Structure 1
Amino acid sequence: MFLKALFAIAIAEGIGLAYLLIWYARLMGWLVPMAMVFGLILPLLAEWKVRSLALRFAQCRFRFGLRSLLTTFAIASVFLWFTTFAIHGLKYRERRAVRNLEAAGAEIDFVGMTSSWSESIWMALMLGSDSKVRQFHVRYRDVAPGTLQLLLQLPEVVDLRVGGSRLSDSDLRIISQLQNLRRLSVGNWNSTQISDNGVKWLSSLSNLHHLHLNAPGITDAGIEHLSGLSNLQSLSLTNTGVTDAALPQICRLRSLRTLGLMAPGITNTSMSKLQSLPELLALDIRGASISDAGLDDIAKCEHINTLYISKSQVSKSGPITPKGVQELRRRLPDLRIRN
């Protein structure tokens, strides 16, 4: 009787397992063979091996049969079902967070990228079988303060862009809890509620590789909080109150490869300090107060291969003249100058 009941359970579990394997195949591909090996093939191989040992050594009187096989199969099925329920729980939690963000007035974009099976599986259902979304772009309209608290339910996000007039220092405090962030863009032209006090919360994001700040309330004091982000490879400062006084702190970021100094408070004085950034490859000075003298200092940074200058900065009357650009090209023949 026990064997019949176990057999019926195993059949039901087998049907569920078949569905589960198909579901895994659509989402994760390579995990399916592993699930089959560990859930089905390995138990069979183990039983065959022990059988051979039992025959080899007469003193081992173990008995194996359909009952042990079905028991192993049932245990493997239950384990995989448990895994499925856990994944569905994560899916529900993340989807609910997105719904609540949208209901609060945020415009949300998802950007897919190929990644490992353990990340945000529910997003793959929305974007395709081989896409797990880890990039999350939120554009504020009329969003109530504290709405970004919902982002804490999306811990796997590594790329986050937030902006809007309602964005404040308290929101940056929430963002600082997303320790998996690698790329962060904060603010836009009307993000007037962000200040240096908010920037200090970002100092805890030690895994950041790319940071873009766009808020007029950020000054040299705010940049000082970022000097400990040793993994930072790209820093872009747009529409800020940053001046030449911030360059000593910026130059402590020795891993910088891309630097954007798009603020009128940046002058030729800053260009003379760039040689202390040995990894710097790209420099953006659109909107900065740079003249031909600044280009002369840039020419001393032989490792720079890309320079961004706006067309409005170059004219016969200055501040940057066509002659100055020509001289820069002569000294750095491999330099790409872009608008």
Structure 2
Amino acid sequence: MTPEEQEELLVLGRTVDEVLAAAGDEVTPEEAWAALAELGMTAVGLPEELGGSGGDVVQAAAVLRAVAYRCAPAPVAESAWGGSWLLARAGLPVPECPAVALWVGADVEVASSGGTTRIRGTVRAVAGARCADLLVVAVPNEAGAALVRLTTDNVTLVPGADLAGLPLDDVCLDVEVLDAELVAVPVTRDDFDLRVAVARLVQITGAAARAADLVLDHVRTREQFGRPLARFQVVQGRAATIASSTRLLDAAADLAVESIASIDRPDGNEADLRAARLRAVLAVATAYDAVGEVAAHSHQLLGAMGFTTEHPLYRSTTRMWSWREEAGGQRRWLAQAAEALLADQGRDAWAQLADR
């Protein structure tokens, strides 16, 4: 990345941060979305010709990280990395409103007859569903998936929430659509889940950076026994662990985003795509432990005040924990990495891990 590109990403992040800082900590999802949409920040990384703001996934990650740093409840990840991204991959227009994706699983019945398809069942724990004006239902098939566009008026929402209090709703479907309305998209569930996991990792880095900044400010200004907490060796050790874990998260997110960028390139061959996917999977998997390190040491240094719902540390760490779980769980991604390593019979595991 050139210095000019790095500066562009910094400016992008600062712009988002300034907008959300002005909106305040109590901003609603609708208000946060409107503030970002006014500058085109809710559709960065999506093609301009389809209604997006242009740019690539690296720029989209810079926006997402800045949104997560401020703990803004705008469903940018769920839309720009989820529903709107699926629409763009299918060549469909990207809406200005939030679009959240629902993947039909085994609990949902899909039956086709007489030129129509009926979808009936419940998709559970859909992040941001109640904040969306458009729901993008993905029905898996041999080529990837078929998409159905619905509004929230077409479904029944059962409200839920994650640990941070963000919407995590069950969506009850009972709709019948014409087969002609189904739009094919060459994206598998595994591909989509990996992209969402990378988005969650990017969000985690933003929340972790905020937690680290809060801790640093606290230990520098809070005094005990006549001197700042930062002067005590045990505090310095915990602060160093937070800093190193935050850097690990940043490095993992950078690798994962670069890998997604490689996957998105139309000229990639099959071997390059497999290698890029493996890098992204490993980056997501290795970041899980660092989340616990940042959260645990941050709360230890801030004490009881950091556990109150009014304190910004609480908003950051609960989001980190929630996003870590919504990314799919460490065991899942380690298992996928193992399967990928064993599937490539032409190279041994070490050569693949060393990317040689």
Q: TM-score, normalised by structure 1?
A: 0.21
Larger RCO, structure (CA 8 Å, separation 6 or more):
2
Q: More helix per residue: 1 or 2?
A: 2
Q: State the structure with more CA Rg.
A: 1
Q: TM-score, normalised by structure 2?
A: 0.21
